[in-house]
Structure 1
Amino acid sequence: MWHIWQSEWRITIRQRSSYTFVILWLSVLSLLFLLERNTPTITGYTNMIGTMANLVLYIIPLFMLIISSFSVANEMENGQWRLLSTYPVSSVAYVMGKAFGQFTAQLIIFTLSYGISLIIGLISGSALSIKWVLALYVFSIVLMLFFLIIGFVIGSFVVTRWQALTISVGMWFFLIMIWPTALIAVLSLVPYPMIAVLLKIALFINPAELLRIVFVVQLGGGAIFGQAYDTLITFLQSGAAWGVLILYTLLYMILGFVLSAWKLERRKMQ
């Protein structure tokens, strides 16, 4: 697993597309920070912070799904997976190595871009609080991890990069773009007393929605979610919430790795 990890992140860092992502993140983040150069210091949840979080929420999942699904699908398509299958490497080790290697590479790329953008924003006169800067960074990194795992699951189930692209975009469109609309449509069919319970269950199905709510709550904007989320908001403001979130992340990772390894093992036997 360690060799796959090192190989994955080194190959990714050396690719020319990585520099494209550095420029992309640098451009987007710099523009976001420059928007605040003539406003007071950001200390809580404002409309501008909501706009920044939404932009990150739209961009990161799409890119991570495509990158991670392509990482596996490309090896399926060019025959490299068949060659790897002849070596004494388990499917779990392969998936974990690929996932953590890709996450390491994307973490380096995003951190570099984030740091440079932050410096540009501070030099230009933007007033940013440390809490807000750290909250946006952690939100982006954890979001990146979740959707990289989903992308690797997609890549394990497809055969070509075209299939990976189609399913990745479809998954992004469902989880990010039309999730609220789909949720409202489904909840309109159930009895009213069950709506609050189903809302909380649906929240843990979609990691992007969960992370968005945690981000908003930590910046003091939990009141915007309404009465149905009152109990959940109170819990997320407590110290025990971090333990639950860490457990949720670990379970999500384990489930993703198990699904990917199971499918790859079935392909070995075919």
Structure 2
Amino acid sequence: MNDTLQVALREIKSGFRNPWAYSFLLLFTIFSISLLMIHSQSFMEGYTGATGSMLNLILYLLPLMTLFLGSFSLTSEKEDGNWQLLSTYPLSTLSFITGKYIGLAAMLLAIVCFGYGIMGVVGVITGHPFGLLTYYLFVVFSIGLVLLFLAVAMVVGSCCSNRWQALTVSVSLWFFAVIGWNSLLIGFLGWLPYVWIKPVLVALTILNPAELVRLFVIIKLGGGSVLGPSYYRWVDWIEQPGGSYIFAGVCLVWIIASIGLVYWIWERGRTRG
């Protein structure tokens, strides 16, 4: 536990020395204020067309930002030779991986909280604050994206040997999961027998962290009716009293499985020298 904490603190320190972190901090703060400007045009409570557009804007920025910072952090350990040095110490691979995840998560969540904090203060000062539920769900949406895509970023960083490979794979995954998801999903499901469509849709949605978090927040905002009959079961279980706990459990399993895969990749490389 102490080793994990030391790795996490090291990651936080090195992360905030990275110019990329401050670039994303500035970008996300400006982005958050831009969301407030959109909101100020009309008061929004619950799910509306404007709220949906704002969720999509967050969906474009945060996963890409997280994939870059997370994957670059791991590939830099290989390129700079830090991992070769650390592996000679009595530091377990699991402590290293877990510490990296915790440190990166803390840094990214600090960026998100700072941006939303500025947005909240400016909203109160200008007299155009978000509704409390909407503001809360926007924060939950962003935190969910960060934590899940950070797990994906660590898998990418573990599989890639340098930053250029990580950059290429990160952009490809971001495009697939965020930009091209709907079109690719419709095209793929069109080839399946009708009885397979719903179970495959559920499985693919769980495998895509962007879609998983987006559906949860839309339904919690009261926009479940816009999703169509294929997502009726999603609306049903998310809206029940324990729906939020089930969602949190699914996300936790997602993260643990990803970290387990990362651990296997690094431990395999360590034993092979």
TM-score tier (shorter): over 0.9
CA deviation digits over 1:100-153, x for unaligned, max 9? 101001111221121012211232231421010010011101110000111011
CA deviation digits over 1:162-182, x for unaligned, max 9? 111111111111111111111
CA deviation digits over 1:177-223, x for unaligned, max 9? 11111111111111112212221121111111011011000010000
After alignment, is 193-202 or 162-171 more displaced?
193-202
Counterpart CA distance in 2 for 1:16 and 1:27 is 17
| Aligned position for 2:220 | 218
1:102-251 aligned within 5 A:
102-251=104-253
Counterpart CA distance in 1 for 2:72 and 2:34 is 29
After alignment, is 112-121 or 169-178 more displaced?
112-121
- Percent identity between the aligned chains? 34
| Aligned position for 1:11 | 14
For these two proteins, the number of residue pairs brought into alignment is: 269
CA deviation digits over 1:219-259, x for unaligned, max 9? 10000011111122111100222222122122111111111
Q: Alignment partner of 2:192: what SS?
A: coil
Shift of the alpha carbon at 1:4?
A: 0.1
| Aligned position for 1:22 | 25
Alpha carbons 1:217, 1:237 under 8 Å: kept = yes
Counterpart CA distance in 2 for 1:17 and 1:161 is 13
1:74-93 aligned within 5 A:
74-93=76-95
Alpha carbons 1:64, 1:151 under 8 Å: kept = yes
Q: Alignment partner of 1:36: what SS?
A: helix
Letter in 2 for 1:126: H
1:257-268 aligned within 5 A:
257-268=259-270
| Aligned position for 1:48 | 50
Letter in 2 for 1:12: G
Counterpart CA distance in 2 for 1:127 and 1:145 is 26
Alpha carbons 2:120, 2:129 under 8 Å: kept = no
Counterpart CA distance in 1 for 2:248 and 2:190 is 32
Counterpart CA distance in 1 for 2:198 and 2:251 is 23
User: Structure 1 125/259 Cα, relative in aligned 2: closer, same or farther at 3 Å?
Assistant: same
* TM-score normalised by structure 1 residue count: 0.96
Shift of the alpha carbon at 1:90?
A: 1.4
Letter in 2 for 1:5: A
CA deviation digits over 1:11-67, x for unaligned, max 9? 212333332222111111101102222423x21101110011001011111110111
Structure 1 unaligned runs (5+)? none
What's the Cα RMSD here?
A: 1.3
| Aligned position for 1:35 | 38
Alpha carbons 1:10, 1:105 under 8 Å: kept = no
Counterpart CA distance in 2 for 1:133 and 1:190 is 39
User: Structure 1 198/119 Cα, relative in aligned 2: closer, same or farther at 3 Å?
Assistant: same
Structure 2 unaligned runs (5+)? none
Counterpart CA distance in 2 for 1:182 and 1:45 is 25
Letter in 2 for 1:31: S
| Aligned position for 2:257 | 255
